[in-house]
Chain A
Amino acid sequence: MAEPAVMKEDPGYYAYWPYRNRPALRWPNNARVAFWVAPNIEFYEFNPPTNPQRKAWPQPYPAIQGYGIRDYGNRVGHQRQMELLDKYGIRGSISLSTALCDHHPEIIAMCAERNWEFFSHGIYNTRYTYGMSESQERDMIRDSIQSIHQHTGQSCAGYLAPALSHSEHTLDLFAEVGSELFGDDAGFYTCDLFHDDQPTPISLRSGKRFVSIPYSLEMNDTIAFVVNKVEPRRYGQMLKDCFDRLYAEGEKSGTVMCIPTHNYQVSCPHRLKAFEEALEYITGHNDVWVATGREIAGHYLDHCYEDALADIEQKETEAAA
């Protein structure tokens, strides 16, 4: 019912652009790695309406286990993770279920006080994009951007679709609604694409200057702990190994590492130590730019985007010749 009649073979957001021999990417102060932490601060509804393509909970209502552990994240986990990020001088870039502004404004206030970035992760993480008309998705995205502005004064720069549920129009709509509301100051990066370890230009129907920022999905605590069932200390080691490689490669051309977290995963008492050790290790290196998603995307658009487009075009021409 909800899928378009003709499905695309490729989303068409970017050209093939090999990692080697790109123009050197330079971060501020010649840092090798732009490092960011993206806490997902989410609200899952206890009894959401049914989506035709995806169930919110495995059990019939009330699914107290799944709901409960996510509530734990907000009640217990959030402040634990926030204190740890404070300790290592990291400002979070929050992937926000924007209804949380209404449900738990205390959390929003604490993060705003720390000048953390808020970007849109939809309204609820139990409302999927699947099956929405273009205008419904546009309304949902607009509502989420407006909520962030109303509660924090920030113009939302980035997007991660709720529960990673997308349509063919998601990125176009996000960029367009951002421009409608705040011009070039909103809607200019996405975390939804995992094709690269550097930012890349994304082509949209509007032609807006728009960039994909690496969100390091393999380093996402939920992917590690729930999907791949990784042991906590191994997760800590994976983070260090990932960083070591990107730091080494970043000497020639800057890279990006993200740790996407969830306050109901990494903040559990049996997992926080390994996470802390990784943060201590990463921030203990000199040539690391500890940044936010907006700062990384902004720097790239200001200093690297045009060179990248020119290089992509040149290589495509060479390949066609």
Chain B
Amino acid sequence: MSLAPEYLTYPQRSYGMDHDRYDWSMLADRKAVLWPGEARLALWINVSLQFFPMNQQGVPFPPPGGMTMPYPDLRHFTLRDYGNRVGIFRVLEALRSRGLNASFAVNGQLAERTPALVKELAGIGEIIAHGWNMDTPHYGGLDRDTEQKQVADSLAALRDLSGQAVRGWLSPGRNESEHTPELLAEHGVDYLCDWVNDEMPYPFRTSKGPLTALPLSTELEDRFVIQNNLHSESSWQEQVCDACDLLLGEAESRGGRLLTLSLHPWLIGQPHRIGKLEAVLDYILAKDIWSAHPSDIVARWQAQQ
């Protein structure tokens, strides 16, 4: 019994990362970043608008929040559709009444299905591309031409309907193939929100030109905390408030910090949950924050590098 010799050789064992996508860098060692008005904390709220097809293929894995029952899974199809019909309007009102900015990450196919909604969102905040639908994941081994079409179609649908340049990208289920960053760079994307390895923007390499990685926290996301971890709504509220306090404290000596809130209207827009979002927003709003669109955060950061 033994393993192949390659299992005990370590070709990447040297300084820095074991890949070329970005450089090794510790947050605490970086130059302080100043946000507008010397706010200590930038707040980025991202609301994901998603289409989960009922004929889900699940190749090579099903999307988080996708169908789980035998076809036709009316239960999950309609529960997700609820977010785009009902939940989103509760979320929008919570933001509007507090004067908060947000981005909307929209599946390309949802833009086709609900053009009026996307036009309305484009008038409110920044549109980010969120792939074609939740069942078209970007993954290792995906054919490059297929992926190229998904990227192109998603961006075209959203740019056309929103009238915005659409420079940001969040992959469905946050999965990527080995080609995704190059394809995004080729299609006019400037910043990428899939990676969760930092709390501030950082430079990201592709062979087709540089991107900026703008991490959107999964650990604090409504879906991850409430649906994946099965924590209570109250606990989610506490967790966001605790995170807000910690980052504010750190910003006192280390420069501006970034709090990201990733929201799903099909989950947080439910009647028993929306109040927790409102309470979270009230708590954060009372602090020294800059409520910003993601492209403004990237631009502000970039100007200081």
**What is the bound-complex CA distance between A54 and B42, given in angstroms?**
41
Given contacts A103-B13, A232-B239, A233-B235, contact A59 B230 (CB under 8 A): no
Would you list 8 pairs from A and B whose C-beta atoms are within 8 A, ordered by A residue?
A49-B6, A51-B3, A65-B218, A76-B197, A131-B3, A136-B7, A136-B8, A232-B238
**What is the bound-complex CA distance between A39 and B195, given in angstroms?**
24
Does the CB pair A79–B27 fall under 8 Å?
yes
Set of chain A residues within 8 Å of B8, measured between Cβ atoms: 127, 132, 136, 139-140
Give min CB distance, B2 to chain A, whole Å. 4
A189-197, A251-259, A266-274, A290-298 - the one binding chain B: A266-274
**What is the bound-complex CA distance between A140 and B2, given in angstroms?**
13
Does the CB pair B199–A132 fall under 8 Å?
no
Does the CB pair A269–B242 fall under 8 Å?
yes
Does the CB pair B232–A231 fall under 8 Å?
yes
B24 within 8 A of A: yes
A78 within 8 A of B: yes
Given contacts A68-B195, A103-B18, A139-B8, contact A60 B13 (CB under 8 A): no
**What is the bound-complex CA distance between A74 and B18, given in angstroms?**
14
5 additional contacts (CB under 8 A) given A59-B140, A231-B229 = A72-B196, A74-B26, A103-B17, A106-B26, A127-B8
Residues of A1-60 whose CB lies within 8 A of B: 1-2, 4, 43, 45-47, 49, 51-52, 58-60
Does the CB pair B231–A268 fall under 8 Å?
no
A75 within 8 A of B: yes
Given contacts A270-B240, A273-B242, contact A76 B199 (CB under 8 A): yes
B198 within 8 A of A: yes
Chain B residues at the A interface, C-beta cutoff of 8 Å: 1-4, 6-8, 10, 12-19, 24-29, 60-61, 139-141, 174-178, 194-199, 218-220, 228-232, 235, 238-240, 242-247, 250, 259
Chain A residues at the B interface, C-beta cutoff of 8 Å: 1-2, 4, 43, 45-47, 49, 51-52, 58-65, 67-69, 71-72, 74-76, 78-80, 99, 102-107, 123-124, 127, 131-133, 135-136, 139-140, 225, 229, 231-233, 268-274
Does the CB pair B12–A232 fall under 8 Å?
no
Given contacts A79-B28, A102-B14, contact A59 B231 (CB under 8 A): no
Does the CB pair A232–B15 fall under 8 Å?
no
Interchain CB contact (< 8 A) of A4 among B1, B176, B231, B243: B1
**What is the bound-complex CA distance between A234 and B25, given in angstroms?**
32
Does the CB pair B24–A103 fall under 8 Å?
yes
Closest to A69 in B: B196
Closest to A76 in B: B27
**What is the bound-complex CA distance between A263 and B3, given in angstroms?**
31
Given contacts A49-B7, A229-B231, contact A60 B24 (CB under 8 A): no
Does the CB pair B61–A99 fall under 8 Å?
no
**What is the bound-complex CA distance between A1 and B13, given in angstroms?**
29
Set of chain B residues within 8 Å of A140, measured between Cβ atoms: 8
**What is the bound-complex CA distance between A71 and B199, given in angstroms?**
12
Give min CB distance, A102 to chain B, whole Å. 5
Does the CB pair B14–A270 fall under 8 Å?
no
Set of chain B residues within 8 Å of A132, measured between Cβ atoms: 2-3, 7-8
Given contacts A51-B3, A232-B242, contact A69 B218 (CB under 8 A): yes
- Give the interface centre of A45, A124, A268 by most chain B CB atoms within 10 Å: A268
**What is the bound-complex CA distance between A124 and B195, given in angstroms?**
21
Does the CB pair A76–B140 fall under 8 Å?
no
**What is the bound-complex CA distance between A274 and B6, given in angstroms?**
42
**What is the bound-complex CA distance between A305 and B250, given in angstroms?**
45
Give min CB distance, A99 to chain B, whole Å. 5
7 closest A-B pairs (Cβ-Cβ)? A60-B140, A133-B2, A269-B243, A270-B239, A71-B197, A270-B243, A68-B197
Closest to B142 in A: A60
**What is the bound-complex CA distance between A68 and B204, given in angstroms?**
13
**What is the bound-complex CA distance between A51 and B229, given in angstroms?**
29
Given contacts A75-B26, A103-B13, contact A64 B176 (CB under 8 A): yes
Give min CB distance, B227 to chain A, whole Å. 11
Interchain CB contact (< 8 A) of B219 among A69, A78, A133, A135: A69
